[in-house]
A and B are shown apart, each in its own frame.
Chain A
Amino acid sequence: MLKKLTLAVLATVSTAALADINVGVSVSATGPAASLGIPEKNTIALLPTTIGGQKVNYIVLDDATDPTAATKNIKKLIGENKVDVMIGSTTTPNSLAMMDVAVDNETPLISMAGSAIVVEPMDAKRQWVFKTAQNDAHMATAIVQHMTDKGVQNVAFIGFADAYGEGWFKEFAKIAEARKLKVVASERYQRNDTSVTGQILKVMAAKPDAILIGGAGTPAALPQKALKEKGYKGLIYQTHGVANNDFLRVGGKDVEGAFLPVGPMVVAAQLPNDNPVKKSALEYVTKYEAAHGKGSVSSFGGHAWDAGVLLQNAIPVALKKAQPGTKEFRKALRDAIESTKNLPAAHGIFNMSANDHQGFDQRARVMVTIENNTWKLIK
């Protein structure tokens, strides 16, 4: 009798465990993208542990900004932890590496990377991949728009000598050309360079009206400091990759007056009350700052939060069709995420479709400038 009872109890426990929803997470919490990966990791800890009445387990692994490690992580999470959905990774190369494994196992993958190639062009593989960060094109359009409004004609570019800088240059040059802006110089530097004097001198020799710095995080402060030091007087633009407080700390007074596009979350408190993103963005900012202190929030954590927002919306729908842990559930979850409509998140409003797995529109970006060492919304 006792034996039977134990078995019965065990059986209930194991079915309960099976019914839990397992979310695998791979972020770049160490390595070159650590400043993006750490707030993402912190944000995952703030996501709800119950969705649609089901317990949700988040299993977080670090991929050290290394695509090989990212692949290993997703294989382990799918193989051993039987995850229903994957969130990750922080960077574009890592997300692309994880994509193949996710597709082979028919597991939805929500990436937090910037580049549009993660979800475009739509094909059989990318059916399974979604992305919460704004495409570079969203941001580049905003910059070019602002430049033409300011009457800029000649523009120069200096960016990272890696996928980030190249990706930005391609997007920016394409849109700039369409809007009749002339790109007069294009230079590259390494994110851990100690000096960019050579590049800056060459850029300045081309006499551009505006310069776009295609860098992310604190390394993007170096060219702007060098430009100020060498007496450059034109406009300076940064990308949304610099939108964290460390950039302001390192850049100090030399980065004052720079223009950049950001997700509305960065200036959530300054948004007008009728902005549709304000409420959902403030919710995240409040939660994060309650856990990590005032002023600690950065735009990168917002992308992880938005992955959570997508799941909270899609999981209840998928639960109606199938049980977690099954192939059918993963398929239902993918379909549910793809049919997300008018969902406010920290960075914008998601409107997914079969062809658009990013889902943001122009409401997902605002132009800001740096004033008194803080981000100021340009109205």
Chain B
Amino acid sequence: MDLQILLLLGQDGITNGAIYALLALALVLVFTVTRVIFIPQGEFVAYGALTLASLQAGKVPGTVWLLLALGCTVAVLDGIRLVREGRFAKLPPLLIFNIGLPLLAAAGLFAMPPTQLPLAAQVVISMLLVVPLGPMIYRVAYQPLAGASVLVLLIVSVAIHVAMIGLGLLFFGAEGSRTPPFTELSFELAGAPLQGQTILVVVASASLIIGLYFFFERTIYGKALRATAMNRTGARLMGIPPVLAGKLCLTLAAAIGAFSGILIAPITTIYYDSGFLIGLKGFVGAIIGGLASYPVAALGAVLVGLLESYSSFYASAFKEVIVFTLIIPVLLWRSLTSKHIEEEEE
């Protein structure tokens, strides 16, 4: 192995690690705020990438129908409650946000073929189609069970994951897609070629992480999420509705997932079921951070990316074995060094 191979592998590992880091952060965020182990995180990656790909292929992505169906379900669920409580004034915004906007999106896609739009506009449309799925899923699946045990919430997550994979196959078909690169630039670094797209992934991930930091430190919503993560009951007493916190953090998780998908779609082929494995590697990173610490989770995810890259060189047949076996020593170390505190039942 010479220096060039070392550099190329490192570059590859950091690119993948950056994506895993984003997903690890989203997983930690969702877990600390809602105690949900968000297995469908990876599906948002696939949905984001494939929605963009179908827009570029001139097809109406199936995500529109899912958005519409979920929107209607949310509208019915919340509508019944509002009518019962006699809060009619809240009905119009509910209907506009959950049915009106998805309908508008569907109509817009049929009226104007998105193939002619610039790439940036296509990215925005894909994000707008995928991200609202997050809070809607929270409303339909998690909100009625918000007080349930971690295990019940995990089972719900598995159910959503399986449902989303099945729908993904229906929407996008069995074959994968790639999107054209955002940039064709290419550099030379110490004799090793460096693709512009790779730099873009790393820079975009890093700036998103910095953005998240400022969101949590400086904005009232970010602080509300942190408060909920620290102490759910306390935050509630301070007037932070847990429903708002839940919806907000799933919106963030969906946005991070979809954005990661759009970032990696030009580098690799994405399938309807690719998201799970990517999400799982983010999860390994999150586990290294004990599902609590953001910086450790991000570093852990980058470590996973590097480990994956180097093991694919040395022992390609055992790559996944090596990556996922990493969990065992990490768990051992964590259980020996940290004091175990029983989760308080609410």
| A residues in contact (CB < 8 Å) with B | 30, 32, 34-35, 37-38, 161, 187-190, 192-199, 201-202, 205, 217-219, 221-222, 229-231, 244, 246, 249-250, 252
Interface residues of B in 220-278 (CB under 8 A from A): 264, 267-269, 271, 273-274, 277-278
Indicate if the CB atoms of B9 and A250 lie closer than 8 Å: no
Our pick among A34, A187, A201, A221 for the contact of B174 (Cβ within 8 Å) is A34
Indicate if the CB atoms of A198 and B267 lie closer than 8 Å: no
Indicate if the CB atoms of B175 and A35 lie closer than 8 Å: yes
Interface status of B169 (Cβ within 8 A of chain A): yes
Interface status of B319 (Cβ within 8 A of chain A): yes
Indicate if the CB atoms of A201 and B316 lie closer than 8 Å: no
Residues of B within 8 A of A231 (CB): 193
Interface status of B292 (Cβ within 8 A of chain A): no
How distant is the Cα of A105 from the Cα of B273 in the complex, in angstroms? 36
How distant is the Cα of A363 from the Cα of B16 in the complex, in angstroms? 45
Indicate if the CB atoms of A197 and B178 lie closer than 8 Å: no
Chain B: interface size category: 35 or more
Residues of B within 8 A of A246 (CB): 173, 175-176
Our pick among A189, A205, A229, A250 for the contact of B177 (Cβ within 8 Å) is A250
Indicate if the CB atoms of B169 and A250 lie closer than 8 Å: no
Binary flags per residue of B293-327, CB closer than 8 Å to A gives 1, else 0: 00000000000000011111110110110000000
Known contacts A192-B271, A218-B269, A221-B269; A197 and B175 CB within 8 A of each other: no
Our pick among A197, A219, A221 for the contact of B312 (Cβ within 8 Å) is A197
How distant is the Cα of A10 from the Cα of B343 in the complex, in angstroms? 67
Our pick among B5, B8, B174, B273 for the contact of A192 (Cβ within 8 Å) is B273
Indicate if the CB atoms of B169 and A195 lie closer than 8 Å: no
How distant is the Cα of A195 from the Cα of B201 in the complex, in angstroms? 14
| B residues in contact (CB < 8 Å) with A | 5, 8-9, 12, 15-16, 166, 169, 173-178, 193, 195, 264, 267-269, 271, 273-274, 277-278, 308-314, 316-317, 319-320
How distant is the Cα of A37 from the Cα of B174 in the complex, in angstroms? 10
Residues of A within 8 A of B166 (CB): 30
Q: Who on chain B is nearest to A199 by CB?
A: B316
Indicate if the CB atoms of A198 and B169 lie closer than 8 Å: no
Residues of B within 8 A of A201 (CB): 5, 8-9, 313
Shortest Cβ distance from residue A253 to the other chain B in the assembled complex, whole angstroms: 11
Known contacts A161-B317, A192-B273; A198 and B175 CB within 8 A of each other: no
Known contacts A187-B316, A189-B316, A198-B316; A205 and B5 CB within 8 A of each other: yes
Indicate if the CB atoms of B269 and A198 lie closer than 8 Å: no
Our pick among A38, A194, A230, A250 for the contact of B267 (Cβ within 8 Å) is A194
Q: Which of A32, A37, A194 is most buried by chain B, counting CB atoms within 10 A of its CB?
A: A194
Indicate if the CB atoms of A197 and B277 lie closer than 8 Å: no
Indicate if the CB atoms of B264 and A198 lie closer than 8 Å: no
Our pick among B16, B169, B320 for the contact of A190 (Cβ within 8 Å) is B320
Known: A187-B316, A192-B277. 13 other contacts (CB 8 A): A30-B166, A34-B169, A189-B312, A193-B312, A195-B267, A195-B312, A197-B9, A198-B313, A199-B312, A218-B175, A244-B175, A250-B178, A250-B269
Residues of A within 8 A of B195 (CB): 229
How distant is the Cα of A161 from the Cα of B316 in the complex, in angstroms? 8
How distant is the Cα of A194 from the Cα of B323 in the complex, in angstroms? 14
Indicate if the CB atoms of B316 and A188 lie closer than 8 Å: yes
22 A-B pairs (CB sep. < 8 Å): A30-B174, A32-B273, A161-B317, A189-B312, A192-B273, A194-B264, A194-B268, A194-B274, A194-B278, A195-B308, A197-B12, A198-B9, A199-B312, A199-B313, A199-B316, A202-B313, A219-B271, A222-B268, A230-B8, A249-B177, A250-B175, A250-B269
Shortest Cβ distance from residue A113 to the other chain B in the assembled complex, whole angstroms: 17
